[in-house]
Structure formats: C-alpha cells, structure tokens
Amino acid sequence: MRASGVLSGRGLPALVVVVAAAVLPASVAGAVTASVAAAAPATTTGDVTVLLPTSTGAQARAATSAVATVAGARIVRRIPEIGVLTLRPTGSTSAATLASRLRATAGVQAAQTEHRMTLRASTVVPNDPALTDPENTPGTDAATVVQWPAWLLRLPEAWALSTGSGVRVGIIDSGIDGTHPDLRTKIATATNQSDAASARTDEQGHGTHVASLACAATGNGSGIAGAGDRCRIVFEKTDLGDSSVAASIVDAVKHGAKVISMSFGTDGKRTPPAVLTRAIAYAVKWDVVLVAAAADRPVDEQGDPANLLQPTGTGPVIASGSGLVVTAATVDGRRASFAGRGSQVSLAAYGTYRTSAGGPSGIFGDFPLTLTSLDTGTFSSHGGDPPCACRASFRGDSDYAYLSGTSMATPQVAGIAALVRSANTKLSAKQVIRILKSSARRSGGWSSDLGWGIVDAAAAVKLAKRTTGLRGAA
C-alpha cells in the first residue's frame, strides 16, 4: 500500500475515496500526560479508504460523485490536491459491508479500513518570565528556571541570529486556545478538520500546549517563549482520523506552512494508509519540513506518520528520510524511559525533566483556562487516563500546565526548524533536515536512543547561515 500511495512524476495520484459509517467523538488517546499510560490499541473510525483510477478536473468530480451515488453515501470532505474524498453512508449500511461491496466494484483498486491516530508534548533573552523565574518544584536541581529547555537548547543564542520571522508552522492537533495571551497574536489561520467546535477552542488541552512550545509569543512579558520566536501558527484542528490528518496536512501547506508539527501517531501494526502517504508526499513536493513524534513507549516501531518520514533502518543514514522523527530526552541528556528508540528515530528534544521522582512533572507550556479533558481524566479514547494533575499556576494565572512526552519534544524541533528556515530562506527542506541532524549535540555518531542527538538551536542556525541554499538553484 505504501508504494501505491506515492505521487509519481508530475501527475495526480490515483483518486482516494474515504467512506465514513459514523463519526466518533473527538476524544483521542492520551499519548503524553503527566503519567505515561500504556499505548492505546488502534481505533477504527468507521471509515473506509478507497483507491480509484487517476482522473482530473471535471472527470474526477464526476467519478467521485458517481461513487457516492452508487454507495448511497453523502460527501462530507474532498481533498482534490491528493485525490481524496470522504463519504458518509446513509441508512443502516455498515462500513464493513460498504468496504466489501466496494472491493467488488469495477474500477476500485483497493479498500482500506481507516484508523484514528493518538496524540503523543551573543544572547537575546526576551522578557517572558518563565525564561528567568526559578523552578521551585521539590527535587529540582538548583538554579533551574521554569522554562529550562530553552537554555539547554541554546534558544536565546539562536534568537540573536534568527527570529523565525516570515515562517509559518503548521500544528495539527486537538485545538488551540485562541484567547491565550501567548497565542492570540500568533495564529495566522485556524481551520477545523473535525466535527468538534471551533479550531480556536481546545477541549483537550494538548494542542494549546504543543502550539505554545513551537510559537508562543516572545517578548510579551507573559508566560513562555516559543522556540520559533516570531513564527506564526497555521493551526489544523483534527479528530485524528486518517482523512482528517491528510486534509490538515494539505490545508496547512496551502496556507503557507513551511514546517508542520505532528504530535500523534499509531502503534505501527497497520500498513500506513494511502491517504496519509499521499498527503505527506504532497507536503514533501511543496518543500515542507515535516516533524513527527516518536512513540510514547520504549519501542523500535514508531507508527505512522513517523515511520513514513524516517522508515525502518534509515535513521543512522544522515541523508535519508523525508522528515524528522523526534524522541524525548531528559534534563540529564538521556532518552526518557517512556520514549521511542531505534532506527526510525532522527533526533531528540526535551520531553520531560526526569522520569524518576523529583522535579517538575513535565515541560511547562500554555494551557486553556477552561477545564479540559486532561484535567478531568476523560482525555483518552481507550477508557480514560486519571486526571493529569498537570495544570499549573504561574504568576497568579492558571492557564499553564506541565505535560511530558514526545509530543512536547516535537514542537520544539519544529520551532527551531522555523529559525533555520528564517536564517536562510534559500535552504530546501532536505537541507534543513540535514542541518538539524548534523548540528545536534551527541557523543559520537547516531545512537538508537537519541538518533543524531539533542537538537541545538544555536548550532543549527549558525550552520544554516553558512550553507549555500539549493532552493531556486538551476
């Protein structure tokens, strides 16, 4: 299925049709909480992905309408850029029955059950107080500040060289609190690719936290500073169904995202769906730096989309892969005990303080002021994790939280990728990816624990500035 989902030459991909039997609630599995839960089993959405022969323009529209009519289904989503259609059957027809019927239909190349992914988290010092206020949680090392990852990633040094200005970062996640002081001026666009409420609301809390680590406002005298400094956010609210994620990727590209952060994934037990393969190929074609979270378990299989960006065996080859897969490191520079490892890992960023007792319970970031499903323990789609006890009060405000996981490491890398792209606008996505790998801090070469090492923002920006860009080269 992976081969059939790749864009070939300059032609359009074969048409993909997604048939939805029902829409599940927008709850998703808690891949990163203050306490790391066992991975959720794969969740089917009730949808079916169907491949049809390639067609374009009016012919494609007629073909998809014909499929909808034959299937007795209602069209709910089209992604013409990669030939994807989402249908919802009427009446009592089940997804299984419809899939079986479609497989026997002339012209249908394949039918595949859709699954829902799970969420996985000279110096310029802005006046954001988390950069300088002490972290007072018992067990924290002396002289540690609340936003300690910024200093270990050498962000203030990088900000003196690149501001991230002009770069849009796509965040595909549960939603974003558009009223948060750190985020309300940073959102370029926000699009709802789910059946939940507005993209500028976040019922779960995960997306707000992730977005802040990438692009929270810097120098506003409030809260934290995002890794990407002046980068802007292209937010895509997803229900994590395959077609919702694919639509999010395509829409983020269309809205100008040059980096896309994806803090979610699967357990890797399925073949990556063609709809996702084609969406990633579309983003690669448009020279986007794709960044995905490794698993939130110490396993070698990172699941999709990660395994599409850095396939098995390619991690140790610095020039291989079409994106970055990020695992989580601790303050001590070790892989977090809960984080993915192995040859699908590209590099690491900080995803927790320590996994042993003592210190803060995760990475400090923005959080919705309203009660979230992480607060209540209803976040997980596999029965619910305990309430996260992650909400934090900072300088009298309670719209912050400590969350840990590869989900937190990933947007920090995405923000740093924005700094690199801003430092040298002629760099191709492939060059940005290689720069981030080659400049990461490590002992020796690639390792199965941390890939090419822990990302180093200052080193990456400096290397970007002295690299000849290939974009627009003959």
Q: What is the pLDDT averaged over residues 27-47?
A: 44
User: Would the pLDDT of 82 be above 90?
Assistant: no
Express each pLDDT in 184-206 by its tens digit. 999 999 999 998 879 999 999 99
Residues 275 and 233 in one domain: yes
Residues 111 and 181 in one domain: no
Residues 295 and 381 in one domain: yes
Taking the C-alpha atoms of residue 273 and residue 271, their distance in angstroms, rounded to an integer, is 6
Within-domain flag for 471: no
Within-domain flag for 93: yes
Q: What is the pLDDT of residue 91?
A: 80
**Domain termination residue (choose one: 76, 93, 115):** 115
Residues 42 and 154 in one domain: no
User: Would the pLDDT of 125 be above 90?
Assistant: no
At residue 347, φ and ψ (nearest 5 deg) are -165, -170
Residues 260 and 217 in one domain: yes
Using alpha carbons, select from 194, 176, 287, 288 the residue that is nearest to residue 233: 176
Whose structure tokens read 């400090």? 364
In this prediction, residue 13 has a pLDDT band, given cuts at 50, 70 and 90, of very low
Q: Which residue stretches of 336-391 are H helix?
A: 373-376
Residues 314 and 398 in one domain: yes
Within-domain flag for 41: yes
In this prediction, residue 43 has a pLDDT band, given cuts at 50, 70 and 90, of confident
Share in percent of the chain as helix, strand, coil (round to 5): 25, 20, 50
Residues 205 and 342 in one domain: yes
Within-domain flag for 122: no
Q: What is the pLDDT of residue 59?
A: 77
Within-domain flag for 472: no
At residue 373, φ and ψ (nearest 5 deg) are -70, -20
**Domain termination residue (choose one: 115, 147, 177):** 115
Question: Coil, strand, or helix at residue 279?
Answer: helix
Q: What is the pLDDT of residue 116?
A: 84
Express each pLDDT in 163-179 by its tens digit. 999 999 999 999 999 99
Within-domain flag for 124: no
Express each pLDDT in 410-447 by its tens digit. 999 999 999 999 999 999 999 999 999 999 999 889 99
Q: Which of 13-27, 283-297, 359-373, 414-428 has the lowest mean pLDDT?
A: 13-27
Residues 100 and 153 in one domain: no
The torsion of the CA quartet 443, 444, 445, 451, rounded to 10 degrees, works out to: -10
Q: Where are the beta strands (DSSP E) in 80-208?
A: 84-89, 110-116, 118-119, 168-173, 187-193
Within-domain flag for 431: yes
Within-domain flag for 102: yes
Residues 205 and 104 in one domain: no
Range of the domain at 23: 3-115
Taking the C-alpha atoms of residue 296 and residue 172, their distance in angstroms, rounded to an integer, is 18
User: Would the pLDDT of 29 be above 80?
Assistant: no
Instruction: With residue 326 as reference, give the H or E element that holds it.
Output: strand 324-329
User: Would the pLDDT of 383 be above 70?
Assistant: no
Q: What is the pLDDT averaged over residues 280-284?
A: 98
Residues 133 and 257 in one domain: yes
Residues 208 and 89 in one domain: no
Residues 89 and 143 in one domain: no
Give the amino acid at 111. A
Token pair for 28? 């998703």
Q: What is the pLDDT of residue 74?
A: 75
Q: What is the pLDDT averaged over residues 121-128?
A: 73
Sort strands 187-193 and 232-238 into parallel, antiparallel or unpaired. parallel
In this prediction, residue 50 has a pLDDT band, given cuts at 50, 70 and 90, of confident
Q: What is the pLDDT of residue 379?
A: 66
**Domain termination residue (choose one: 86, 115, 144):** 115
User: Would the pLDDT of 275 be above 90?
Assistant: yes
Q: What is the CATH number of the domain that holds 341?
A: 3.40.50.200
Give me the number of domains the chain comprises.
2
Q: What is the pLDDT of residue 5?
A: 29
Q: Which of 73-82, 215-224, 430-439 has the lowest mean pLDDT?
A: 73-82
